[in-house]
Amino acid sequence: MNALALPVVLPLLAAFLVRPAGLASGSLARWFGPLVLLLCAGMLVDTALLTHGQPVSANIGGFAPPLGIVFYADSLALLFAIAVPAFALLLWPREAMQAGGDRISALMLLLVGSGTGMALSGDLFNLYVFYELLAVASFGLVASSGSARAWAATVRYLLISGFGSVLALVGVALIYAQTGTLNLAQLSEFAPERLANPLGLAAFACLLIGFGVKAELFPVNAWVPEVYATAPKRVSALLAGVVSKLAILVVLRLILLVFDLPEARQSLLVLGLIGLVSGELAAWRARDLPRMLAFSSIGQLGLLFMAVSIPGVLGLIAALAVALHHLLMKPALFLLAERWSGGLENLAGAGRKAPLAAGLFTLFALSLLGVPPLPGFWAKLVLLLGLGQQDAVLAQAAIFGVLLMAVVEAHYLFRLVGLLYAKTAHGAPPHRMGDLAVASLLGAILVASMPLLPALAQGLGWMAHQASDVAAYRAVTLGSTIPGVAP
Partner 1 sequence: MNPPDLITILISGGIGLVAIGAVGMAVSRHLLRLVLALAIAEAGANLLLVLAGYRWDAVAPILTGATVTRPMVDPVPQALVLTAIVIGVGVQALAVALLIRVKEAYGTLDIRELKTRVEQEICGAAGIAPPESANKPGGGQPYPVPVTTSRESA
Residues 278-307 that bind partner 1 (CB under 8 A): 287-288, 290-291
What whole-number distance in Å separates Cα of residue 279 and Cα of residue 300?
8
475 in contact with partner 1 (CB under 8 A): no
**Nearest approach, Cβ of residue 209 and partner 1 (Å):** 11
Angle between helices 433-448 and 75-90 (to 10 degrees): 150
**Nearest approach, Cβ of residue 27 and partner 1 (Å):** 30
* Binding range to partner 1, per CB under 8 A, among 6-14, 147-155, 399-407, 461-469: 147-155
Residues 449-468 that bind partner 1 (CB under 8 A): none
159 in contact with partner 1 (CB under 8 A): yes
Judged by CB under 8 A, the number of residues near partner 1 is 44
Q: ∠ CA(47), CA(50), CA(52), 5° rounding?
A: 100
230 in contact with partner 1 (CB under 8 A): yes
12 in contact with partner 1 (CB under 8 A): no
166 in contact with partner 1 (CB under 8 A): yes
What whole-number distance in Å separates Cα of residue 369 and Cα of residue 126?
37
Q: Give how far Cα 38 sits from Cα of 30, 59, 398, Å.
A: 14, 24, 41
346 in contact with partner 1 (CB under 8 A): yes
151 in contact with partner 1 (CB under 8 A): yes
153 in contact with partner 1 (CB under 8 A): yes
* Per-residue binding letters, 88-127, with partner 1 (x by CB under 8 A): -------------------------------------x--
**Nearest approach, Cβ of residue 272 and partner 1 (Å):** 23
Q: Give how far Cα 390 sits from Cα of 270, 301, 303, 386, 429, Å.
A: 14, 21, 16, 7, 49
Residue type, 4: L
- Distance between alpha carbon 377 and the CA centroid of its chain, in Å? 20
* Binding range to partner 1, per CB under 8 A, among 11-19, 98-106, 168-176, 408-416: 168-176
Q: What 8-state DSSP symbol labels residue 71?
A: E
342 in contact with partner 1 (CB under 8 A): yes
What whole-number distance in Å separates Cα of residue 173 and Cα of residue 226?
32
Q: Residue 56, SS3?
A: strand
**Nearest approach, Cβ of residue 394 and partner 1 (Å):** 28
In sign, the C-alpha dihedral spanning 5, 8, 11, 17 is negative
Residues 180-199 that bind partner 1 (CB under 8 A): 180, 182
Phi then psi for residue 343, to 5 deg, are: -65, 160
* Binding range to partner 1, per CB under 8 A, among 172-180, 240-248, 316-324, 359-367: 172-180
**Nearest approach, Cβ of residue 428 and partner 1 (Å):** 10
DSSP string, 145-156: T--HHHHHHHHH
**Nearest approach, Cβ of residue 183 and partner 1 (Å):** 11
270 in contact with partner 1 (CB under 8 A): no
- Cis ω for the linkage preceding 85 (within 30 of 0): no
Q: ∠ CA(112), CA(360), CA(236), 5° rounding?
A: 30
What whole-number distance in Å separates Cα of residue 261 and Cα of residue 70?
25
Which residues are near partner 1 by CB under 8 A?
125, 129, 132, 135-136, 139, 143, 147-149, 151-156, 158-159, 162-163, 165-167, 169-170, 172-174, 176-177, 180, 182, 226, 229-230, 287-288, 290-291, 341-343, 345-346
